[in-house]
Amino acid sequence: MKAVETEVRDGVDRETIETVEAMSGKYKYGWETEIEMDYAPKGLSEDIVRLISSKNEEPEWMLDWRLAAYRRWVQLQEPDWAMLNYPAIDYQDQFYYAKPKSMAVKPKSLDEVDPKLLATYAKLGIPLKEQALLAGVEAPEGGERQVAVDAVFDSVSVGTTFKAELAKAGVIFCSISEAIREHPELVKKYLGTVVPPSDNFFATLNCAVFSDGSFVYIPPGTRCPMELSTYFRINAENTGQFERTLIICDEGAYVSYLEGCTAPKRDTYQLHAAVVEIVILKDAEVKYSTVQNWYPGDENGVGGIYNFVTKRADCRGDRAKVMWTQVETGSAITWKYPSCILRGDDSQGEFYSIAITNNAQQADTGTKMIHLGKRTKSRIVSKGISAGRAQNTYRGLVSMHPRAVDSRNYTQCDSLLIGDKCGAHTVPYIEVKNNSSRVEHEATTSKVDEDQLFYCRSRGMDEEEAVALVVNGFCKEVLQALPMEFAMEAQALVAISLEGSVG
Amino acid sequence: MAQPQAKTDALAARVAGLAVAGSGWLGAARRDAAVRLSAMGLPSRRDEYWRYTDPVSLTQTVVLPAALFETADEAPAFDGIDRLRLVFVDGVFDPAQSDDPTLAGVEITALRAAGTTDIHWARDLYGVLEARGQTPVQRPLATLNTAHATEGLLIRATGRAAKPVDLIYLRKSETSDAMVHHCIKVEAGAELTVLENGPGAARFTKVMEVDVAEGGRFHHVRVQGRDAERRAATHLFARVGANALFKSFTLTANGRLTRNDAVIELAGHDGVAHVAGAAMGDGDFHHDDTVFMTHAAERCESRQVFKKVLKNGAVGVFQGKILVKPGAQKTDGYQISQSLLLDGASQFLAKPELEIYADDVKCSHGSTSGAIDEVALFYLQSRGVPRRVAQSLLVLAFLAEAIAEIDDEAIAEDIRSRLEGWLARHEG
């Protein structure tokens, strides 16, 4: 009868306790696909860089570019300014290239792809069959909603859907390795112009060893007929994933791009160092949404993905517009600052972020808004949620150059703490070099409001549900900025990520 | 940690000719500081907390000359306030120009005299708060001061001080390089107001360590001299006990380079610490407020209110942090940094940080920057207020939140009149 007394005192029924116990530490995508892989030898050297380049059948100029980056990387020191604590990474104890054996000869179409790989994506809810919808999404009235997917498995792109239909609109959507071969003029013109090989330690590493990724080109005046999406899956053990994405949105064009990521549960950490470059020309607009759900490690901080990502959009033309939306729930370590260079006059950058850390996760994430053009506008809405023993840091820069007259920035950073063992931090840098621009920064830190929780509980919700509801309310501004498919997934993720954080 | 040779050499050059440690408790504290300093080296632009301010003119061997500044257009600061005047000339305490340092409820001794004794209350304070304030962010200029300062006052309030103590820093030399180190102890239940005014020296490196015991109250109001060319690096290290109050306000008008560090620890429950500043710069002016507020106990309140008015290329910097340690529940932390840029050439660089390790807290910060509100200006003009008067009114309104941090109305009025004077002199 003792258990019953406890229940009465805490006001929590048995069902809730059982549900919480059953759910804590649960990661939906932690299974592994058993598949034969081809690995490059472990470690990093010029030979590995050459090997990756030759596996991708790259032209000479690409190899030279990689080698120059590698030689630079060897001279660089890993940055340590972020509020992250992790054991030193042994860059020689990683595989830099892993490819399913069945991909040795590139399948001509998705029908030829190894069923095991297709099953993997089916299990993840990612449709690789054309005309299919993302799992759980109702077709909107007046027709089906289509999403083209590029699926990246460890180091290679498995396949890209809707290529033919996109080609009709003039849109190029393929893996970057394919683009290097098929569209060298575009790649040469834009690759490394937003994130140069000298940018930072992790970006330089990526330049040397990136194995695949997505390439998007939207021609002038084209509204991309469907949403584009890349789904990254790390499967092989001890394998780093280094993907590179290049998106070019030509004058007056529009594209909405989605990115998702998961990885199996393992008790060793895995490295992920990606680069995303977006070039936006005059009057063009790009929406880039990410739901990052890499394996976060277990409740004691064992395993998980170390996620070091450089993402940047360059609004080169007047009235160009970019919107970054990210929901960061996974990874043991997150080091990520999607940025906007607002070069064109009247260009706009927006950054909406939810970063959730639980257990032993650590996130140091934020954005940079570099205002160079006249009358440029930016908006930052960041919601950090910390639970367990996690540390969550917002780090951002807003820079108004002397030439960026009449520009505006508004920044809102809110942090929510659940429990007394976690931390929430805000490190904004604000640099204003003209007086006609207005910069506003606000940040708050609080805990989940007791009155709101009490109200939800009084309406019959259990504590976990109540917290999830309050947290979803806290994140509302960001969730609303996501495309519909992602908004639902993100909302569910917010609840799952906080499982076990209450009580 | 071993320093690169260039850093070691730069430090050796900087300390050459400065006072050596000597004997007694002060000697021991200086020796300890010298050891700590050699491990840190002098600050450089590469350091995170010097990214917006170049410390070179503060660290180099040569003192850049600063023209003397004589003025008759304004009464000296706090002239109308009944206070105990203690005068320093180019960083050297001058008893002849000072009032008799006897004041009910307060003990005042010169560092020079007290340092040679065997025992003194200040031995538990001198260099102690400064050393505590080096983690997690190093402040080598403060350590340099602890290791080599020979001048300063040791002030201990044992009751309610009969009147404010005013530390007046006069300057007679164009190349003076002064280091002054004060220790202030406010005993349990005691209350003290310390005023400071004047430029100090062509290059002034100052440390003030303040320990406010349980239930003590400490007020600090400072006016940094109007000398346009002087350079200063000041440090305020404070420990605030349970139920104690600490309040500090600084007015900076002019000055080529000013770096004011404030490192405050709320060490006892229910403590209150407010730091505020108003800075006015026209032309060649670089002003940096760097504040580190640590909440180490429950139910404490902190406020940081910093306002800057900048024109003709003046640069304002604010780096403020609220650190809430694990267990410092029910913390109420507030921070605001704002700048008014009166023209397109001025700059505001800010890094307002929060670092929070407790969940039941209320912390917020805000930072804004922009030009004077044209709509408000137009409204006032439409009511018949001439444009320049309207502009002054709006600037004063902008600064009001910082000045409201001064509890004593007579002192606040003195500050207000100085702001009005500055605005009148820097119109157009």
Collect all residues of chain A within an 8 Å Cβ-Cβ radius of residue B353: 425-428
Q: Is the CB of residue B358 less than 8 Å away from at least one CB of chain A?
A: yes
Collect all residues of chain B within an 8 Å Cβ-Cβ radius of residue A368: none
Given A428, A432, A436, which is nearest B352 (Cβ)?
A: A428
pLDDT at residue A28, as a whole number: 76
Whether the full predicted model's pTM is greater than 0.90, yes or no, is no
CA B4/CA B26 separation, integer angstroms: 29
> B365 and A443 in contact by Cβ < 8 A?
yes
Q: Where are the domains of chain B?
A: 5-371
Given B349, B361, B364, which is nearest A443 (Cβ)?
A: B364
Going by DSSP bridges, is the β-strand pair A423-432/B347-356 parallel, antiparallel, or unpaired? antiparallel
> Looking at CA atoms only, how far is residue A430 from chain B in angstroms?
5
The amino acid present at B17, given as its one-letter code, is: G
Collect all residues of chain B within an 8 Å Cβ-Cβ radius of residue A415: 354, 356
Residue-wise burial string across A328-344, b where 16 or more C-beta atoms lie within 10 A, e elsewhere: bbbbbbbbbbbbbbbbb
> Looking at CA atoms only, how far is residue B40 from chain A in angstroms?
18
- In angstroms, what CA-CA distances link A11 with A6, A17, A457, A463, B40? 8, 11, 10, 10, 55
pLDDT at residue A119, as a whole number: 82
Q: What is the mean pLDDT of residues B81-108?
A: 96
- In angstroms, what CA-CA distances link B370 with B308, B348, B373, B425? 11, 9, 8, 22
> B367 and A424 in contact by Cβ < 8 A?
no
Nearest to A372 by CA among A348, A402, A396, A398: A402
Cβ pair A257, A311 in contact under 8 A:
no
Residue-wise burial string across A365-392, b where 16 or more C-beta atoms lie within 10 A, e elsewhere: bbbbbbbbbbbbbbbbbbbbbbbbbbbb
pLDDT at residue B398, as a whole number: 96
Handedness of CA B367, B369, B372, B374 (dihedral sign): negative
**Backbone dihedral angles phi then psi of residue A228, each to the nearest 5 degrees:** -105, 150
Task: Return the higher-pLDDT residue of A134 and B326.
Answer: B326
Alpha helices by DSSP H, A191-309? 201-209
Q: Is the CB of residue B373 less than 8 Å away from at least one CB of chain A?
A: no
> A417 and B353 in contact by Cβ < 8 A?
no
pLDDT at residue A162, as a whole number: 86
Q: Is the pLDDT assigned to residue B64 strictly greater than 90? A: yes
> A435 and B371 in contact by Cβ < 8 A?
yes
Cβ pair A311, A279 in contact under 8 A:
no
Q: What is the mean pLDDT of residues B355-367?
A: 91
**At a CB cut-off of 8 Å and minimum separation 6, what does A6 contact?**
none
- In angstroms, what CA-CA distances link B101 with A186, A360, B20, B159? 79, 57, 28, 16
Q: Is the CB of residue B369 less than 8 Å away from at least one CB of chain A?
A: yes
Among B18-27, B34-43, B302-311, the range scoring the smallest mean pLDDT is: B18-27
CA A368/CA A380 separation, integer angstroms: 9
Q: What is the mean pLDDT of residues B179-206?
A: 97
In angstroms, how far is CA A140 from the centroid of its own chain?
26
pLDDT at residue A1, as a whole number: 33
Cβ pair B111, B26 in contact under 8 A:
yes
Please give the full DSSP string across B135-200, using - where no structure is assigned: SSS--HHHHHHHHH--B-EEEEESSB-SS-EEEEEE---SS-EEEEEEEEEE-TT-EEEEEEEE--
CA B370/CA B420 separation, integer angstroms: 21
Cβ pair A200, A152 in contact under 8 A:
no
Cβ burial, residue B29 (10 Å; 0-12/13-18/19+): buried
pLDDT at residue A20, as a whole number: 38
Q: Which two tokens stand for residue A378?
A: 């930016």
Beta bridge partner(s), residue B263: B237, B292
CA A442/CA A432 separation, integer angstroms: 16
Which residues of chain A are under the pLDDT cut of 50? Answer: 1-13, 15-24, 131-143, 503
**Backbone dihedral angles phi then psi of residue B302, each to the nearest 5 degrees:** -135, 150
> Looking at CA atoms only, how far is residue A446 from chain B in angstroms?
5
The residue assigned the tokens 């009005």 is B420
Q: How many residues belong to chain A?
A: 503
Q: What is the mean pLDDT of residues B196-212?
A: 97
- In angstroms, what CA-CA distances link B193 with A266, B129, B190? 61, 20, 11
Chain segment B70-84, per-residue pLDDT in tens: 888 899 999 999 999
Collect all residues of chain B within an 8 Å Cβ-Cβ radius of residue A421: 326
pLDDT at residue A5, as a whole number: 33
Chain segment B101-130, per-residue pLDDT in tens: 999 999 999 999 887 777 899 999 999 999
What ipTM was predicted for this assembly?
0.89
Nearest to A35 by CA among A242, A262, A235: A235
> Looking at CA atoms only, how far is residue B330 from chain A in angstroms?
10
CA A195/CA A209 separation, integer angstroms: 15
Given B339, B350, B356, which is nearest A423 (Cβ)?
A: B356
Mean pLDDT of chain B: 94
Q: Which two tokens stand for residue A386?
A: 């910390």
pLDDT at residue B203, as a whole number: 97
Collect all residues of chain B within an 8 Å Cβ-Cβ radius of residue A427: 351, 353
CA A373/CA B157 separation, integer angstroms: 57
Collect all residues of chain B within an 8 Å Cβ-Cβ radius of residue A442: 364-366
Task: Return the higher-pLDDT residue of A131 and B214.
Answer: B214
| CA angle, residues B201, B205, B206, in degrees to nearest 5 | 105
Collect all residues of chain B within an 8 Å Cβ-Cβ radius of residue A425: 353-356
Nearest to A316 by CA among A347, A289, A291: A347
> Looking at CA atoms only, how far is residue B43 from chain A in angstroms?
17
The residue assigned the tokens 């007929």 is A225
Mutation test of the interface with chain B: which of A81, A407, A427, A445, choosing the one with the most B Cβ atoms within 10 A? A445
> Looking at CA atoms only, how far is residue A388 from chain B in angstroms?
11
Up-side HSE of residue A316: CA atoms within 13 Å toward CB? 13
Given B347, B355, B357, which is nearest A432 (Cβ)?
A: B347
> B364 and A405 in contact by Cβ < 8 A?
no
> Looking at CA atoms only, how far is residue B334 from chain A in angstroms?
9
pLDDT at residue B2, as a whole number: 62
Torsion, CA A395, CA A401, CA A404, CA A405, rounded to 10? 110
Task: Return the higher-pLDDT residue of B89 and A473.
Answer: B89
The residue assigned the tokens 């207005």 is A438
pLDDT at residue B261, as a whole number: 98
Q: Which two tokens stand for residue B257?
A: 């380079």
Q: Which two tokens stand for residue A359?
A: 């257990």
Cβ pair B395, B389 in contact under 8 A:
no
Chain segment B412-424, per-residue pLDDT in tens: 999 999 999 999 9
The amino acid present at B385, given as its one-letter code, is: V
Q: What is the DSSP letter of A112?
A: G
> Taking CB atoms and an 8 Å cut-off, how many pairs form between chains A and B?
117
